[in-house]
Structure 1
Amino acid sequence: MLHRYRPGDRVLDVDAADLVSLLERHPNRDEKVGVGIDHFEVQAADYSSQCFRVVRTDGTWARFSYKPCIAPHLF
């Protein structure tokens, strides 16, 4: 999904629904979501890669990687 978008693109609602579910598994979920999710975007990241950005309802944003969301959680 990430590479269907270019940096600066807003993620379509159909894909955003999957990202909301994915973000629920992020170890820093509360910090990433903050006051609430308005939408997602894709942004350029290090080493010519890209990542997702969650834009909060207050206009602030945070980058997040999907990798911690799919990694096995050790309890």
Structure 2
Amino acid sequence: MLNRYQPGDRVSDEDGAELADLIKRHPEYAEKSGVGVDHFEVQSADYGTQCFRVVRSDGTWERFSYLTCISPARAA
């Protein structure tokens, strides 16, 4: 999904619904979602890669790794 978009693109509503479910698995979900999720976008990341960012209802945003969301939980 990530590679279907270019940096700066807003993720489609359909893909956004999947990302909304996925980000709930992030260990820092409360921090990432903040006041509530408005939509998702794609942005440039390190070494010529790209990543997703969650745009909150108040216009602030935070990038997140989908790999963190799908990785097994680590023991504390």
Deviation of 1:8 (Å): 0.1
Number of the residue aligned with 2:43:
43
Deviation of 1:74 (Å): 3.3
- Structure 2 counterpart of 1:66, which letter? Y
Number of the residue aligned with 1:57:
57
Query: Secondary structure of the equivalent of 2:68?
Result: helix
State the TM-score, normalizing by the size of structure 2. Answer: 0.96
Number of the residue aligned with 2:10:
10
Question: Cα RMSD over matched residues?
Answer: 0.7
Task: Flag structure 1 segments of 5+ consecutive residues without an equivalent.
Answer: none
Query: Any idea what the Cα deviations from partners look like across 1:35-64, whole Å, max 9, x if unmatched?
Result: 000100000000000000100000000000
**In structure 1, how many angstroms separate the alpha carbons of the residues matched to 2:74 and 2:46?**
27
Task: Flag structure 2 segments of 5+ consecutive residues without an equivalent.
Answer: none
- For these two proteins, the number of residue pairs brought into alignment is 75
Number of the residue aligned with 2:68:
68
Query: Secondary structure of the equivalent of 1:26?
Result: coil
Identity %: 65
State the TM-score, normalizing by the size of structure 1. Answer: 0.97
Instruction: Report runs of 4+ in structure 1 exceeding 4 Å deviation.
Output: none
**In structure 1, how many angstroms separate the alpha carbons of the residues matched to 2:57 and 2:74?**
32
